[in-house]
Amino acid sequence: MRALPLQPARSLAALVAVALLLALLPGPTASADTPAPRDLTEACGALDLERIAFLDLDAEPAATAEAIRCVSAYEIAGGYADGSFRGSRPVTRAEMARFLDRVLRYAEAHGDLELPPAPAEPSFTDTSGLAAEAQTAIARLAALEITTGTSPESFSPRASVTRRDMASFLVRLQGVLAEPYAAGADAPSFPDVGEDLPRADDVAAIAEVGIAAGHADGTFRPFAAVTRAQMALFLARHLDENVAAERLPARTVVPDGVGGVAGFRAAWVHLFDDTLKTREGIEALVADLDAAGADAVIAQVARRHDAYYASEVLPPTPDPGLEPGLDVLATLLEVAGEAGLEVHAWISVMPSTHRVYDDLPAPEGWLAAEHGRGAPVADRWVTRTADGQWSDYLDPALPEVVEHVTAIVDELADRDGLDGIHLDYVRYESARHGYHPEALRRFAAETGRSIPPDPGDRAWSDWRRAQTAGVMTAAREVLDGRDVALSAATIAWGQGPGSGGDAAFAQTRTYRDALQDWPSWAREGLVDLVLPMTYFRAHDADQSRWFEQWLVYNRGLAAEGHAAVVPGVAGYLNAPAAGADQVGRTLRGTGGVAVYSYQQPTASGSAAAFWRDLAATGWTGLR
């Protein structure tokens, strides 16, 4: 893949320029010399555009509605949380920058192009109050010289985009993708676009390739504001021209989560701050997630085998931050039920303790005290490494551990109104763990193999993967016949399998080191929802690539239809724009997404603002 210079890149700039011009000029040709506007056969002909339904498309001409659906399918423009597209709204310069930047990112993801990272510092002094995605887009367009602003210091982000401006943006965008559009000797002309008009050649250039046309009276109206519907026309025609020229591939599948396609939106809420520990905190989080358009809250109700709810299986937590007398689960079910939010009770399974307990009294009957590495060896349920070091993780091969987990699941399932039980950490700490004496004895008895096996021994690894699956199997059996969903947070470490299928998954660290074969859990019906934790930093080149590889794999697994696939996104690792982008791409790819965490959905900026931004776009990241 070629690197893109910071000068006006000739291919992408052209792409953006063409896209923008497409949207600017909706109408019939200006004269017999003006080429007819492009149809969208090349870019959108293979797409099932009828899947994309906005509530207000009936008011648009058929060609405009097709263009709106097309750019939505390419994830360049989308609708609002109320299901509308609002095609009559003028496009601001900030919105235009977001549209163009998405064209650039499509070209990078699907073509022979590599974009430079967006500059960290703002390019203009008047963009700091914008949403993070808009700031990033404007900075990148300025670095590529697709825009020079309205002055050296100003971008004027809230000003409307004119039709002439749009032509210039598209010409420069196309210069990043390939050669910029240029008007030929016989390029069409318009009576209101004279040769003395600055950038008149840009208008002629996009008209010549069928991206823009004039109005019925033959005029171009260069200073008229561009609407969202017109922008969709320009961008769709621009895509079509580049697909026809084989500079970009055509999209063939409409992603889930665009144009009113429903998805499952959730957030994890942990117990490592006070959010869940007071009724006031619970009411606030439910109000926030309800306003954000979430469907479910995944709430931690037992941190390390100490209960924040009334339990006969687990001892009550010694956490001094818990409001006296508060049953976290009961309160959450009451408050979330009134708001229509699903509640999934989250349990961390294998870790037995955490450093937060170091200065707290051990509750009577606490697993970490009675069966942790400080207990007599015969009473330990924790696992051991290949070199004999005891761990704080439980060993999933021990029947006592499985019985303990199923007892928790069984008790929780009796809670009226509970929608699901979410098991986390059903895995080994590493490939060097699992060497509890009883686990080794079982392995030898069941396989006839000598012990201790090497950590990389294939039969030993297969056997341990069967133990993690066994925990899920036991939980599934407890829930059979009960209207409670079972889900699991699963590992997605490092390089992903991409489109390589199961053979590639078997080469991942998830399969080798965590000893989880969670795609099989989905296929065998052990879970109703699987939540692969695709926790990656968008600003790191390797991690960004790994995120894409896991997204491709998760999309394929979701398409199989065995279980809902709801990948997790680590907001806390990313700036707001990058986090929202990962949320949107995940939702559109698999039909579900979960954000970790409610408390810290972004690495910087306001958590409340992040949830408001998600709400405004229906979590798709598109408007």
What are the pLDDT digits (tens) for 111-162? 888 888 778 777 899 988 777 778 888 999 999 999 999 999 999 999 999 9
Going by their DSSP bridges, the two strands 592-596 and 342-348 should be labelled as unpaired
Mean pLDDT score of the chain, rounded to an integer? 90
pLDDT classification of 21: cutoffs 50, 70, 90: very low
Q: Which residues of 120-145 are buried (b: 16+ CB within 10 A; e: fewer)?
A: eebbbebbeebbbbbbbbbbbbbbbe
pLDDT at 221 over 80: yes
Asked which of 21-30, 181-190, 366-375, 387-396 is least confident by mean pLDDT, the reply is: 21-30
**Residue-level pLDDT at 96:** 94
Q: Are residues 512 and 604 in the same domain?
A: yes
Q: Are residues 383 and 234 in the same domain?
A: no
Q: Are residues 443 and 477 in the same domain?
A: yes
Q: Are residues 383 and 510 in the same domain?
A: yes
Q: Are residues 240 and 273 in the same domain?
A: no
List the beta strands (DSSP E) in 322-450: 342-348, 382-384, 390-394, 420-424
Q: Are residues 302 and 231 in the same domain?
A: no
Classify residue 327 by burial, with Cβ atoms within 10 Å: 0-12, 13-18, 19+.
middle
pLDDT digits (tens, 9 = 90+) for 285-344: 999 999 999 999 999 999 999 999 999 999 999 999 999 999 999 999 999 999 999 999
Q: CATH number for the domain including 573?
A: 3.20.20.80
Total of domains in the chain = 2
pLDDT classification of 616: cutoffs 50, 70, 90: confident
Going by their DSSP bridges, the two strands 420-424 and 342-348 should be labelled as parallel
Return d(Cα 20, Cα 166) in angstroms, integer. 5
Percent of the chain with pLDDT over 90: 77
The 8-class DSSP code of residue 487 comes to: E
The answer as to whether 261 is a domain residue is no
Q: Are residues 530 and 583 in the same domain?
A: yes
3-state secondary structure of 237: helix
Q: Are residues 285 and 168 in the same domain?
A: no
pLDDT digits (tens, 9 = 90+) for 186-196: 888 899 999 89
Mean pLDDT of 424-431: 98
**Residue among 166, 167, 173, 201 nearest 187 (CA):** 201
**Residue among 433, 504, 501 nearest 467 (CA):** 433
Range of the domain at 590: 267-617
Mean pLDDT of 435-443: 98
Rg of the chain over all Cα atoms, to the nearest angstrom? 28
Q: Are residues 283 and 235 in the same domain?
A: no
Question: Would you say 506 and 462 are in contact if contact means Cβ atoms under 8 Å apart?
Answer: no
The answer as to whether 228 is a domain residue is yes
**Residue among 188, 199, 133, 142 nearest 13 (CA):** 142
Q: Are residues 311 and 232 in the same domain?
A: no
Cis omega (within 30 of 0) on the bond before 499? no
The dihedral through the CA atoms of 4, 206, 155, 132 has a sign that is: negative
Question: Would you say 339 and 290 are in contact if contact means Cβ atoms under 8 Å apart?
Answer: yes
The 8-class DSSP code of residue 510 comes to: I
Going by their DSSP bridges, the two strands 390-394 and 382-384 should be labelled as antiparallel
Question: Would you say 539 and 574 are in contact if contact means Cβ atoms under 8 Å apart?
Answer: yes
Q: Are residues 310 and 405 in the same domain?
A: yes
Residue type, 467: Q
Q: Are residues 303 and 224 in the same domain?
A: no
pLDDT at 30 over 60: no
The answer as to whether 405 is a domain residue is yes
**Residue among 509, 575, 589, 567 nearest 538 (CA):** 575
Q: pTM for the full model?
A: 0.75
Question: Would you say 344 and 422 are in contact if contact means Cβ atoms under 8 Å apart?
Answer: yes
DSSP per-residue letters across 26-70: -SS-SSTTSPPPP-SHHHHTTS-GGG---TTGGGS-HHHHHHHHH
pLDDT at 458 over 80: yes
**Residue-level pLDDT at 120:** 75
pLDDT at 273 over 80: yes
